[in-house]
Amino acid sequence: MEFVKEFVTFLHEKEIIKFGDFTLASGKSSSYYVDLRLVPSYPREFRMMVKYLENQITEDVGLDNFESIVSVPTGGLVIASALAIETVKPLIYVRSKPKDYGTSKSVEGKIHDGMKVVMIDDVATTGGSVVNAIKSLTEVNVTVKDAYVIVDRMEGADEALTEQGVKMHSMLNILQITEILYEQKMIDVNILDKVKKQISK
């Protein structure tokens, strides 16, 4: 738990999480914004985050119970690449749409029938990009049972993945983050309430 508190403080201090009024890629408005693409610019914290994720996967799934790590470009892929190096596991990734030249594949990397993989992404909102990736993997007979994200925005991703038969694990969720920041007097009660209201919509 100590690392989680430290990491949340770091996210806030480096403005990786910001509070205010933001428009997300989906067009939805949000009272906060999380940009985990900034984390690799801080190698010490980035490595600690990857190690924490590795420990979580080892405990939940076991490193011997899957063959490869899979991700979706771009945010999750940077994390998955570092994790693949730490765990000495092969890495594959799923394009959002197949390239229209060469082999026209949507799944990149060495795969085989019945392969078991663990999915990694940075932030989960509705889970759309991960669900699409899972469908592409299913088409080539690659099995995903577990997906890991660093931050769960708690806006439906969990349910969307459950429908695909995939269990979603998160290192942090937005409620945890805001409660830790509020306890440490880094944000005020208005911000906490706004986030809670956004989750309950």
Query: Of 76, 89, 92, whose CA–CA distance to 36 is shortest?
Result: 76
Q: Give the residue numbers spanning the domain of 91.
A: 2-200
pTM over 0.75, yes/no: yes
Asked if the model's pLDDT at residue 51 lies above 80, the reply is yes
Strand ranges inside 52-191, DSSP E: 68-71, 91-94, 107-108, 115-124, 142-152, 167-173
The tally of CA atoms less than 13 A away on the side-chain side of residue 127 is: 23
The CATH number of the domain holding residue 187 is 3.40.50.2020
Q: How many domains does the chain have?
A: 1
Mean pLDDT of 16-27: 89
CA atoms of 29 and 96, how far apart (whole Å): 23
Q: Would you state the pLDDT for residue 104?
A: 64
pLDDT in tens, 112-123: 999 999 999 999
pLDDT in tens, 93-137: 998 776 666 556 789 999 999 999 999 999 998 899 899 999 999
Q: Would you state the pLDDT for residue 101?
A: 61
The tally of CA atoms less than 13 A away on the side-chain side of residue 88 is: 1
CA atoms of 28 and 165, how far apart (whole Å): 27
Q: What is the DSSP pairing of strand 29-34 with strand 91-94?
A: unpaired
Query: Of 149, 150, 119, whose CA–CA distance to 10 is shortest?
Result: 150
